[in-house]
């Protein structure tokens, strides 16, 4: 797709230079909003308002939604009040609420002034909800039917109100805003009898989420049940909106990115990497680097404590990086696996004993295989091939026993901490590699020197 | 939801014990297939066939699809030929193809014998496509309309054929199987004129994917365009199927899990963690551990090469873990950020210079901040507080200059390797933390000893 855009973009730029606006318009209307937005992002800023005005109203609004906040702000600042009003009228309420969240205060004021009173009310309603809640990603525009309606009345209502709704395919049956059930356009279409009542057709076993539910849980639910939309109810069980599958997909991607960033000791940010400047990236990265650097004081203290032993057997130092890295990698394998399973809802606190037992077995298998390989490697490569005579069989033994024990400790710590963090209400993703590595480093050094003391001195 | 299931499950088990089958059935029909499947997974194996037979045909098939392969196999082995035929008739073709892929050969043979010839043909068509291709996740059941049809003829066709289709909401307009355009049930419903031709209503600018396209790209496209379904065409541009949003959501989750596993030096597996035994987990984890352990030989060699220097200044050893960890963490922050941006399609090879420049700036900021903090920490904690007189100002200087340089190297290596890997057609996720750590370890030690040599000896 990217290559395709480059060419299209080039053509569009030529047409823009030559002021062939009607040809330009003919091409734009054949394109998808997301692709048009990509063209806009590549264009020089001054030319965007002109190109934007060529788009038909509905397409203009759809393209607007797909743009990055910077460009949206630029366009809004150039809009007349009437133009702004026209774009707002075409937006779905949830997109309008997103826009309001992203814009600076003075732009927000203009948006809310130009939005019609009903939309202003609905935007404010959505904005009441905390970030990452179901309420904050829902739209208040959905098709609601009454239980007493007939199928043909339902179709009339869908036809009359459907044009402004993000999805019409799942219809919610409500009475006094209480959610009684749901039905789908598919079910309605496949029913022969036009006079049948909605109350007879609807499925009363409707799964809903609360406005304050975590958006990640909501997205996981939609993925689990394969729903197009999920109704959102308030604390009085009154229906206030729906979350649609496209927003759920975005949430799943965002949350995966967030987890990945946390696992790599990065403070998550909503801003894409290429659009962040060095100072913003620095702010995401320095907190954990600083904390982990300071906490490495402990490993330093452990080594200092064994300085005299190390001075007597300098060869032991050469194996410190290998032991630390193997321990760190073993631990992060366990922690990352467990963190992902928790994120996907596959693993809960009650599974902890099973998880620990699984990790102990895995650690024994990995420990035996790696220690054996390491023993052979040390004697064949370090001693024979590289001719390091300080590397005795006893040294190799100390290293390999340490390795096996380190792996065991690393796997147990790695699988336990995320589960405990989750149980205590913290984000398990923070308990990933860097954190585990620091703990495992200290433990592996203690084991190393204890065994060296016992066997070598 | 989980707590809810536990209670429901308990109730169902009591009813099953008391043989209250009709009450049991009344409860089951109110439940969602995914939740019923979860109940089955918790049940003793012998009782599952009995409970399964209580489900009405369509719900039984929907529940069957949600089960884990082990349970599906168990049930199929217990089915009579007629029962198997009934379940198969209710399955969508893409689910049937998934089933065939998961089952052992003798079960597959029974499935293909009992499937009707049309379905058998379609299953085989889907199975022809390689794993992770669009063809392998598509379904061949979609609503196709002819351009000459009127709106009311289109509705007749949707009503007649729609019951067996996974989604009816996006309809594809074809002639001789060539894809001409698409329209939606929403558009059809909102049109006043029943006699209007489909060719006048349809959107001819249809975005499609090829059967051999990567499933991840397809899922990313659906997420970008917010489509309910995406048509799949063969090399002759003839339409062969559709990929639906629910499958795209599953792909996005799977691919995120795969990336996370690769980043943590794990060989990805489709099997969930809790269902894998220790030997399977061992096989996922040992290859990278072994490779990384062996490659740590280099760090060992570097340290051995500087053994005499270390023997003279043992205090230098104490800072090795901190330098290695800080370097490793800095590098993995850069690599993981870049890998995720590549996965999401935000970053391409042509962005490499911009990425390197961004990382150099970030590295300078991080390097200055961390080195300054480290310098203060060494002198205040290690020298004053812990009274280690070997830690001179010059030693602190060596450590801090090394740290700044290590961070710079780590960030550049960390951001460059994934982009290069991607350009060369490899998976960038493999270039994550553990791999980068091993390289950065070796480089940081070389820098450390070179600076120590220059300043201390």
Beta-carbon count within 10 A of B444 CB:
29
**By the CB < 8 Å criterion, does B98 face chain A?**
no
Residue B279 near chain A (CB below 8 Å): yes
For residue A231, the cross-strand partners are A242
C-alpha atoms less than 13 angstroms from C-alpha of A60 in its C-beta half-sphere: 22
The token pair at B307 is 């053994």
Residue A243 sits at the chain B interface (C-beta within 8 Å)? no
The fold of the A144-254 domain, in CATH, is CBS-domain (3.10.580)
Facing residue for B250 by CB, picked from A223, A257, A296 = A223
Closest CA to B259 of B418, B420, B437: B418
Residue B374: list chain A partners with CB under 8 A.
Answer: 293
DSSP class per residue in A12-76? HHHHHHTT-HHHHHHHHTTS-HHHHHHHHHHS-GGGHHHHHHHS-HHHHHHHHHHS-HHHHHHHH
- Cα–Cα distance, A66 to A402 (Å, whole number): 55
- CA-to-CA dists, residue B380 to A11, B313, B383, B387, angstroms: 64, 20, 6, 9
Strand bridging mode A170-175 / A144-145 = parallel
Q: What is the DSSP letter of B231?
A: E
Q: What integer best gives the mean pLDDT of chain B?
A: 88
Q: How far apart are CA A366 and CA B285, in angstroms?
A: 8
CA dist., res. A270 & res. A254, Å (int): 8
Q: What is d(CA A255, CA A251) in angstroms, rounded to the nearest whole number?
A: 6
The torsion angle over the Cα atoms of residues A309, A315, A316 and A319, rounded to 10 degrees, is 160
For B315-347, how does the pLDDT look when each residue is reduced to its tens digit (9 = 90+)?
A: 888 898 899 889 988 998 999 899 999 988 888
B292 and A329 within 8 Å at the Cβ level: the answer is yes
pLDDT profile of chain A (457 residues), mean per 10: 55 84 88 89 85 89 90 90 88 87 87 86 85 88 92 91 82 93 92 91 92 91 89 90 90 88 84 87 90 85 83 84 89 91 88 94 95 92 80 91 95 93 86 80 90 85
Distance from CA of A292 to the nearest CA of B (A): 7
Q: Which of B32, B253, B381 sits opposite A225 (nearest CB)?
A: B32
Inter-residue contact B343 to B255 (CB < 8 Å): yes
- CATH number for the domain running over B2-130: 1.25.60.10
Residues A2-129: name the CATH superfamily.
Answer: MgtE N-terminal domain-like (1.25.60.10)
Does the CB of A237 have a partner CB in chain B at under 8 Å? Answer: no
Unique residue bearing structure tokens 């009310």: A121
Q: Give yes or no for residue B4 having a pLDDT over 50.
A: no
Query: Who wins on pLDDT, B422 or A1?
Result: B422
What local confidence, expressed as pLDDT, does residue A3 receive? 42
Q: Which residue has the higher pLDDT, B396 or A307?
A: B396
Average pLDDT estimate for B79-100: 88
With contacts defined as CB-CB under 8 Å, which chain A residues touch B249?
222-223, 226, 245, 248-249, 252
What's the rounded mean pLDDT across residues B121-138?
87
Q: Across residues B388-411, what is the average pLDDT?
A: 91
Q: What is the pLDDT of residue B3?
A: 42
Closest CA to B275 of A351, A15, A262: A351
pLDDT of B426 above 60: yes
pLDDT, tens only, A274-312 = 888 999 999 998 988 898 888 888 888 888 888 877 877
Contact residues, chain B, for A328 at CB < 8 Å: 328, 437
Q: How confident is the model at residue B384 (pLDDT cuts 50, 70, 90)?
A: confident
Q: Which two tokens stand for residue B236?
A: 């002759």
Question: What is the three-class DSSP state of A435?
Answer: helix
Closest residue, chain B, to A192 (C-alpha): B159
Tens of pLDDT, residues B17-69? 888 888 888 888 888 898 899 888 888 888 888 889 889 888 998 899 999 88
The domain A296-456 having CATH identifier 1.10.357.20: the answer here is yes
Q: Which residues of B touch A190 (CB under 8 A)?
A: 159, 162-163
- Measure CA A147 to chain center: 38
- Structure tokens given for B87: 């379940």
Q: What residues in B contact A324, CB-CB < 8 Å?
A: 321, 324-325
Closest residue by Cα to residue A268 from A279, A289, A283, A278 = A283
Q: For A300, which residue in chain B has the nearest alpha carbon?
A: B318
**Tens digits of residue pLDDT in B37-47:** 988 888 888 88
Integer angstrom CA distances of residue A25 from A28, B183, B217 = 5, 22, 29
Q: Does B353 touch chain A (CB under 8 A)?
A: no
Residues B73-86 have pLDDT tens digits of 999 998 988 889 88
Q: Kind and range of the H or E element at A393?
A: helix A393-423
Q: For residue B2, what pLDDT is reported? A: 41
Q: Is B350 on the interface with A (CB under 8 A)?
A: no
Does B174 score more than 70 pLDDT? yes
| pLDDT band (50, 70, 90) for residue B9 | confident
Using CB atoms, pick whichever of B303, B348, B369 lies closest to residue A286.
B369
- For B:190-209, CB contacts with A below 8 A are 190, 204-205, 207
Output the six-digit token pair for B59.
């719900």
Q: State both tokens at B363.
A: 């590295």
Q: What is the pLDDT of residue B433?
A: 67
The DSSP call for residue B176 is T
Give me the pLDDT at residue A7, please: 65
Q: Where are the domains of chain B?
A: 2-130, 144-254, 296-456
Average pLDDT over residues B191-200: 91
Chain B nearest-CA distance from A104, in A, is: 25
Structure pTM?
0.80
């Amino acid at each position: 797709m990217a290559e395709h855009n480059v060419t299209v973009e080039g053509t569009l730029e030529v047409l823009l230079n030559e002021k062939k606006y009607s040809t330009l318009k003919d091409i734009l209307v054949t394109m998808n909003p997301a692709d048009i937005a990509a063209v806009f992002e590549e264009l020089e800023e001054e030319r965007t308002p002109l190109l934007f005005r060529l788009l038909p109203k509905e397409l203009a609004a759809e393209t607007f939604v797909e743009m990055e906040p910077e460009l949206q702000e630029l366009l809004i600042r150039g809009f007349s009040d009437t133009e702004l009003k026209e774009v707002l009228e075409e937006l779905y309420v949830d997109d309008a609420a997103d826009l309001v969240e992203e814009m600076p205060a003075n732009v927000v004021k203009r948006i809310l002034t130009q939005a019609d009173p009903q939309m202003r009310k609905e935007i404010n309603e959505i904005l009441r909800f905390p970030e990452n809640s179901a309420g904050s990603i829902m739209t208040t525009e959905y098709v609601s039917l009454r239980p007493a309606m007939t199928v043909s009345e339902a179709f009339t209502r869908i036809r009359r109100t459907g044009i402004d709704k993000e999805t019409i395919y799942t219809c919610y049956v409500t009475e006094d805003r209480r959610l009684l059930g749901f039905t789908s356009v598919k079910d309605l279409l496949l029913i022969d009898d036009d006079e049948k009542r909605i109350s007879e057709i609807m499925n009363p076993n409707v799964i809903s989420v609360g406005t304050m539910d975590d958006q990640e849980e909501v997205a996981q639910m939609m993925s689990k049940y394969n729903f197009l939309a999920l109704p959102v109810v308030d604390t009085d069980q009154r229906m206030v909106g729906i979350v649609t599958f496209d927003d759920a997909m975005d949430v799943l991607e965002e949350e995966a990115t967030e987890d990945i960033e946390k696992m790599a000791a990065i403070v998550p940010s909503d801003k894409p990497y290429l659009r962040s400047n060095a100072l913003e990236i620095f702010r995401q990265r320095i907190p954990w680097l600083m904390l982990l650097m300071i906490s490495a004081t402990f490993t330093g203290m452990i080594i200092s404590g064994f300085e005299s032993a190390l001075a007597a057997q300098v060869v032991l130092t050469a194996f410190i990086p290998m032991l630390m890295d193997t321990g760190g990698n073993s631990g992060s394998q366990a922690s990352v696996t467990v963190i992902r399973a928790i994120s996907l809802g596959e693993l809960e606190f009650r599974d902890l004993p099973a998880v620990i037992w699984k990790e102990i077995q895995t650690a024994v298998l990995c420990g035996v295989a790696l220690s054996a390989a390491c023993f052979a490697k040390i004697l064949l490569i370090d001693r024979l091939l590289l001719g390091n005579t300080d590397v005795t069989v006893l040294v190799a033994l100390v290293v390999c026993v340490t390795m096996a024990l380190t792996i065991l400790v690393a796997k147990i710590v790695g699988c336990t901490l995320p589960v405990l963090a989750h149980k205590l209400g913290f984000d398990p993703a923070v308990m990933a590699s860097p954190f585990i590595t620091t703990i495992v480093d200290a433990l592996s050094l203690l084991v190393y020197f204890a065994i060296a003391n016992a066997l070598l001195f």
